[in-house]
Amino acid sequence: MHLTERQPGDVDQLKELIRQERHAKQRDRYRIALLAIEGQEKLQIASTLSVAKSTVEYWAYRYRDGGIEALTPKPYGGSTPKLIGEQAEAFKKRLANGPTPEDGVCTLRGKDVQKILNEEFGVNYSLSTVYDALHRLNFSCLKPRPKHEKNDPERMEQFKRDAPFLSGE
């Protein structure tokens, strides 16, 4: 797979872009084009960069057809967010404040957040989308189990001492 420069100076520009790029995938796209211009075969490029042959073909042809600008991937599509602006901020604040007495729980689980979104914000999210949203908002889904308000460490120790099946008698 031998490509030629689309524009004079592309080799120098690609070398500079490779040097500056912080994201590995984007840096590899520039490297694919550069190595192809330098005359390396696609299997050799794929082996050098530890990518699939089809990846080399895709990005080399993108360069051939569109130049360096074509090496930047197109933005992914996706659905429009259902919570935006003030509503998203209100949701974040609601979660940060924790469960309310009306929630009837001591900690919010995914299903509880799903219910809050539906009842308080009028949006229907699948459970997996709820977890994705929590992740995007920097909320952790894994929390230590909360201690019940009636938890009494002294009584627990007394129970451990006095319980016949735990005393070793």
Classify residue 102 by its DSSP letter: G
Residue 105 in this model has a pLDDT that exceeds 90: no
Pairwise CA distance, residues 41 & 38, whole Å:
9
pLDDT at 169: 53
Answer yes or no: is pLDDT of 99 > 80: yes
Vertex 109 angle, CA 89 and 139, to 5°: 40
Q: Write down the pLDDT at residue 153.
A: 85
Contact yes or no for 28/51 (Cβ under 8 A): yes
C-alpha to C-alpha distance for 159 and 32, rounded to whole angstroms: 68
Q: Can you tell me whether residue 5 is helix, strand or coil? A: coil
Can you read off the two tokens belonging to residue 80? 């429009």
pLDDT in tens, 36-81: 999 999 999 999 999 999 999 999 999 999 999 999 988 777 777 7
- DSSP class of residue 138 equals T
Q: What angle do CA 17, 30, 4 make, to 5 degrees?
A: 110
Statement: residue 166 has pLDDT above 70: no
Instruction: Give the pLDDT confidence score for residue 157 in this predicted structure.
Output: 86
Q: What are the helix and strand counts (H, E) for the chain? A: 8, 0
160, two tokens: 């451990």
Name the nearest CA neighbour of 96 among 48, 52, 60, 88: 88
Name the 3-class secondary structure at 87.
helix
**pTM (whole model) above 0.75:** no
What is the enclosing helix (H) or strand (E) of 135?
Answer: helix 127-136
Say if residues 64 and 7 touch (Cβ distance below 8 Å).
Answer: no
Which of 65-69, 90-94, 139-143, 156-160 bottoms out in mean pLDDT, i.e. has the lowest? 139-143
- pLDDT above 70 for 143: no
